[in-house]
Structure 1
């Protein structure tokens, strides 16, 4: 066992809370208006399709977590199951998500609160949130776990309150006037392609189930805990997203009448609950943004830690804090990079995220096939279904949604990917040598011992 390892202290509930916090359950509100336009009102249908796609990929993450109980997530899985070269490129793609998701959260926090309190400049809110997130992550997993529990409870409470107010208005004759309506899922007068377009966007909402795997080295019994956590995060998150969008549609069925799609949820919330509920939403959104920024920064720091410890990045990235056993160099670096949120636009930053996610998702599905079906020769009827058909469907569906991303995502993502390829050429001296890799067997003899 390597000496430079993270401490194992997390059980199922804290890992799930990290996933929910990264996922930011209240993100369903921030994306609702844009998703409604893209899907022509069929937001719940788009979420259902996105959930269907994500379940295949969540299954593959769970299968790889059983045999690779190590920090690094998709990077580690593909490095060991396919090749260190592919692993490096996947790690590079994953960093695109993890480095830019905190920026999105800081930007949104600044936008919402500078709008609510115009006397205070946006940069004050951004810097304040950034410093708080950095402090919590440096202090360690235990403090972050407590914060995640409060954030998740607060978010779920608001979602239930919103659904209750919406149901009251709908039953009182507002919106569609009925709680039983299939149109949020599918409108026969609209093309199915609109649901697909919405799903390609809304897969962004599910980013978080995969982040749980980055904490494998800090989890007790990761071979069982991580797969369970991944499945719970995906299913519960999908159910919440579909429920909120279902009631939002029935309360305000005509998406073309929103004053501004970016703030459509605020209009709906004010409509069903008045200014008091709208003020509560602002408080919930602040807490949610904090949780997502904290979890995404923590996940990114651990992917960098795994790559630094393996030698695929300089040793600077593989260092832990002497007291808190957290990857402090990476946390501070990510915070420094996140300062770009003071000058970059939300559209530009958001364009990076889904591209890297789908690259990682496709690669993890392929990793399952490479490890179980090819290397382990699991080729019985059951093996063919579990280790070829299911991950194969997952990879195909992820590729389908990758192709359906907007042009900005694909162009900017390709540029980032190309930069990583150039660095890989430098790292391997023109592919004359293998990149450094993690020397950890798949069947770890004692993965659950405390470091």
Structure 2
């Protein structure tokens, strides 16, 4: 007796991931060395108050993490700020969030290439920055054209390796502070507050950059279909991941500030890789080379993955009608890679490494990220305050606090970053209306 096709159940993802799996996954995405890349930039902007900026950013992210977790309950198979905002608020608002996320995807390989170039120059300073920049952009592009992408297992191994390097660094730092620097009295508190250099406006601007430490935590919500008890575990994992990364990051920059107290900004030649220069003071050439190599590998992997993600997002937009399908929705017949998009992202990255600085790129990336954060908090506020009868703790207070804090930090981004960010949104809205008017009988463009 044959089984009818209709009686065969459709394959489904297995719900096998526990809470601790999600937390480890979140830490792998963000990376244990997350604050080291932006340390010099934040130090210069906030006049040494890097620890305080990390902790303020953590508070904002904790509120937003709760909102992400709660929205994952409502849309367990989506895991996207674009979807949350588009369905709860307005499709156009969702499009703006999606377009802002695209800017983040395009900026990520740029700042990774900038950092890799600066780190490589630490090892071989006779080779000019331009040569390193072109080499890394070409490497990112060639690897993606060949279909090379980092697997979850490789990322996990890298995360373990980076965690061991962090432990080694902290051991050297404790030894340095105990036997050489020997801070006394109020010197232990100056990384949190130094009255001689403190400026509220600069602290907030530094915080707007320090948020880059936590970028990626929202990826946990994409695992909703594979998690045991997703209604509980997605939110807990998102919150615990932000909390663990925040505490670890604060510790990393705290010892760095004690070892290298703020007496002025890092020079331009050192600012992007300032943390490895702190490592040289703490542990000599060995620790300098170890940390420099570790962060170079981490940013190299992030750059390749970021370009991979940007090309796939453009492909999804082309396939969904948000961008011209003939170019953006095309796949290479030989290896099923969106070659047009990979080459386009490579070209944008090549221009970006010469036009942007690491600081400007980081601020622009956070401009888009905070639009998504504000959107998710607003979606959670609207859903749980006005539409849902489900009783949740502080259903209005938490998303409202996340929205207000995120908006406040967003407004303190650098003026140039805001101008460029709003220009990008205006470009996206113009494209949106052109596509809509050109296809009056078609549905709204989709990012999915």
In 2, are the aligned partners of 1:134 and 1:335 still within 8 Å (CA)?
no
Task: Compute the displacement of 1:438 (Å).
Answer: 7.0
Pick which of 24-33 and 57-66 moved more: 24-33
- Scaled by the length of structure 1, what TM-score is found? 0.81
Q: Which residue of 2 aligns with 1:246?
A: 254
Residues 119-166 of structure 1 show CA distances to partners (whole Å, capped at 9, x for unaligned) of: 65312233224434665xx466xx520221122112211111111111
- Scaled by the length of structure 2, what TM-score is found? 0.82
Q: Which residue of 1 aligns with 2:46?
A: 39
Q: Which residue of 2 aligns with 1:350?
A: 362
Matched, 1:81 2:117: no
Task: Compute the displacement of 1:44 (Å).
Answer: 0.9
Task: Name structure 2 gaps, 5 residues minimum.
Answer: 1-10
Residues 50 and 115 (structure 1), Cα distance of their counterparts in 2 relative to 1, 3 Å cut = same
Task: Indicate which of 258, 265, 278 corresponds to 2:288.
Answer: 278
Secondary structure of 1:185's aligned partner? coil
Secondary structure of 1:169's aligned partner? helix
Q: Which residue of 2 aligns with 1:445?
A: none
Pick which of 355-364 and 194-203 moved more: 194-203
Task: Indicate which of 392, 398, 413 corresponds to 1:390.
Answer: 398
Q: Which residue of 2 aligns with 1:293?
A: 303
Pick which of 259-268 and 429-438 moved more: 429-438
Secondary structure of 2:38's aligned partner? helix
Number of equivalences: 427
- Provide the rounded CA distance (Å) in 2 between the counterparts of 1:307 and 1:63: 26
Pick which of 343-352 and 368-377 moved more: 343-352
Secondary structure of 1:57's aligned partner? helix
Task: Name structure 1 gaps, 5 residues minimum.
Answer: 441-451
- Provide the rounded CA distance (Å) in 2 between the counterparts of 1:8 and 1:338: 38
Map 1:138-287 to 2 at 5 A: 138=147, 144-174=151-181, 176=183, 181-188=188-195, 190-213=198-221, 215-216=222-223, 219-220=226-227, 226-256=234-264, 258-259=266-267, 260-287=270-297
Residues 82 and 206 (structure 1), Cα distance of their counterparts in 2 relative to 1, 3 Å cut = same
In 1, are the aligned partners of 2:276 and 2:292 still within 8 Å (CA)?
no
- Provide the rounded CA distance (Å) in 1 between the counterparts of 2:332 and 2:231: 26
- Provide the rounded CA distance (Å) in 2 between the counterparts of 1:293 and 1:439: 22
Q: Which residue of 2 aligns with 1:364?
A: 376
Task: Compute the displacement of 1:244 (Å).
Answer: 0.5
Task: Indicate which of 408, 412, 422 corresponds to 2:416.
Answer: 408
Task: Compute the displacement of 1:291 (Å).
Answer: 3.2
Q: Pick the structure with greater CA Rg.
A: 2
Residues 262 and 139 (structure 1), Cα distance of their counterparts in 2 relative to 1, 3 Å cut = closer
Secondary structure of 1:41's aligned partner? coil
- Provide the rounded CA distance (Å) in 1 between the counterparts of 2:59 and 2:78: 26
